[in-house]
Structure 1
Amino acid sequence: MRTATVQRTTKETDIAITVNLDGTGDYSVSTGIGFLDHMVEQLSRHSLIDISMQVKGDLHIDQHHTVEDSALALGEAVAKALGDKRGIARYGEAHAPMDETLTRCVLDISGRPHCVYKSSFSQPRLGEMDTEMFPHWFHSFAQTAGITLHIETLYGENNHHIAESMYKALARALRQAVEIDPRKGDAIPSTKGVL
């Protein structure tokens, strides 16, 4: 099985994450930010990646460190579980509707981190989560996962639906990209021979 555990401890956060890329979408998530928990749970369930994420952060200051560091650690765990990426599909794309909202996600497990994020919110918070932290979460995840990530809300009005459709679109695209392609055998999906 393709699994990895990452422990990230700083003066700002203490994080333990375990992922199983060949899971069933089981999750145990506790970040101290209820709405972020809900989003990571959506990511797990719809990608079929098992995620255990326990985060203790300096929420008495604000959410920035908790959101950023949890995304960095999750991306690192995914990259570690992928190993040398032999046999993976590599690319993934998905559209995720949620009522009036539609989000598109296209990604490449390229080893070249980059994020294009196009979405916006009409209110500053969802539950207790600052909406300005969503782009930062996606950029941080892409950075340590080593993926090129394009995520765009094509249209939508309800802020909860916009956020949730982004995580579901990422989940479905990630599920495609990490899958083992039986036609590739043990090959690394690059003409360079390395990702």
Structure 2
Amino acid sequence: MARTILTAVLVLLSSLALAQGFVIQQAPGPGGQLDPEARRRLEQYRPVFELQNSLRLMLELDKQKNLSFTKAQAQKLLPVLKDLQARADLKPADAEKILANIEDKILTPAQLKWMDETQLKRQQELRQRRENGGPAQGNNLQGPGPGGPGGPRGGGLFQAIQQGKPFNPFKEDPAKKTLADLIALLSKR
């Protein structure tokens, strides 16, 4: 019960910080602000960005002492990850279910704790850089931004969200590479 409450609080805080960082950093409008409709669309995709960030953290997680993935975990994760790779469109509700499945049925409490603590630490560092007027780089968000294919950092994906077109961040780098690297890592188990 305490783990569930702690996880829920950490996810909520992570989500709020993630969404805030995403909107502020990735906003294409003047002054770093999105119009309300664009903000609403991006907010709907928060579960997709949380899943994306979790998979990136899982690559780092495997390098931590006593936290690397077991063969059994790899066997459970691989079909999920390959499904993500194949999808043309990743709906927020699907991303939420996939992440819940990974967290509830595959990762251990120690692995979840490391991921939560690492994410919170990075969000605090990002917030401090912003408050100090420094560049907000290094937030490890791999969500769409104003650019990418067609500009810096995933503009094609950002446009897909804004236009209501199919969206799967794992179809373009850097998320595509992260997913491929994680699949390759787990395939060796």
TM-score (norm 2): 0.30
Task: Please give the TM-score of this superposition, normalised by the length of structure 1.
Answer: 0.29
Q: Which has the higher strand share?
A: 1
